[in-house]
Amino acid sequence: MLTALLLIAFAFLVHRRFLSGYAPPPPGLAVLHRGEATFIDAAAEVLFPGGGSLPVAGIEAQLPHYVDRHLAALPRAQRFQIRALLLLFEHGTLLFPGDEPGGRRRFSSLSAAARVSILARLSKHPNRHARLVFMALRAVLTLGYLGHPGNLCALGVAPFEIQPGVSDAELLFPRIGGLVSSIRYEPEDRTDPALLGPLDPHGPRHRAYARAHPGRR
């Protein structure tokens, strides 16, 4: 009886800590659950604050959607590693609390100042593994944040608008998933990039990037 009660109490605590109290996830996520999406936004807010030199702030960059796309495309083992990293950060406050009252709450429930202090501590931690964990999280989120079309365009480093070439590969192979019979190119469609010459360093950027504006992906 006592064991059953203890188990129920334990299950309740686990549920409260790990699952309950999260806002509903943004629509369109395939892999991430609501807790992970909430954590990502909470981390992005302090890793990439707004009002700086880039037009899109971390919280506006729709990072949960980016990370979701990334995870969905990864093999299971790598997906597991990244999800474990998110979990570690969100609940690592149990062992390494934020320096404010209630600092053992989930990372995403802490004030921005407390989140900043946790990241600052980890980023300068004497233990190399702690620093590596911080760098891993920063890397996962930087890929989506800096890769946001609005930010890349603002920095002038978005991919160029380029006339897609037609080579023997386009003549011989269909698009991935298609049949060879679906190939529409003929030998006269072949292009010669040498005739087009070098790109203009300040030339137009790929459409999908150029029309980007803050918050859009």
Partner 1 sequence: MPSDPGPDAASEDWLVAARERVRVFAQYEGAFREEADVVVVGSGPCGAVAAYELAAAGHDVILLEEGPPFTVRDFELDGNLSMTRTMREGGLRMTRGTVMPTMQAIALGGGSLVNSAICVRPPDAVFDRWATGFDLERTNRAELDPHFDAIATFLGIAPTPDEVQGRRNLLFRDACNALGVSSEPIERSVRGCRGSGECFTGCRSRAKQSMDVSYVPAALRAGARVFTSVQVQQVHSIGRRVTGVSGQVVAPFSRGSRRGRSHHFRIDARAIVLAAGCTATPVLLKQSGDLANASGQVGENLQFHPGLAIAGIFPEPVDPQFGATQGYQSLAFLEEGFKLETLWAPPPLLSMRFPGFGEELLSHFAEIPQMAVWDAIVSANRSLGRVRARWRSLDPVLHWAIHPEDVAILRRSLKVIAELFFAAGARKILPGVQGIAEVMTSLDQARILDSDAVRPENLVLGGNHVFCTTRMHGDPTRGVVDEDGRCHDLENLYIADTGIFPQCPSVNPMLTGMALARRQARLLGQRL
34 or 142: CB nearest partner 1? 142
Write down the residue that tokens 């093999």 correspond to: 75
Identify residues 62-81 at the interface with partner 1 (CB under 8 A): 69-70, 73-78, 81
Is residue 110 within the footprint of partner 1 (CB under 8 A)? no
Is residue 139 within the footprint of partner 1 (CB under 8 A)? yes
Residue 165 CA to residue 175 CA, distance in Å, equals 14
Nearest distance, CB of residue 27 and partner 1, angstroms: 20
Task: Tell which residue, 35, 34, 43, has the closest CA to residue 61.
Answer: 43
Task: Tell which residue, 171, 140, 146, 169, has the closest CA to residue 158.
Answer: 146
Is residue 207 within the footprint of partner 1 (CB under 8 A)? no
Task: Tell which residue, 18, 13, 3, has the closest CA to residue 107.
Answer: 18
Among 13, 19, 113, 168, binds partner 1 (CB under 8 A): 168
Stretch that binds partner 1, among 17-25, 31-39, 85-93, 150-158 (CB under 8 A): 150-158
Nearest distance, CB of residue 187 and partner 1, angstroms: 4
Nearest distance, CB of residue 76 and partner 1, angstroms: 7
Which stretches within 147-213 are classed as H helix? 149-155, 168-172, 193-196, 207-210
Identify residues 8-27 at the interface with partner 1 (CB under 8 A): none
Is residue 152 within the footprint of partner 1 (CB under 8 A)? yes
CB 208 within 8 A of CB 149: yes
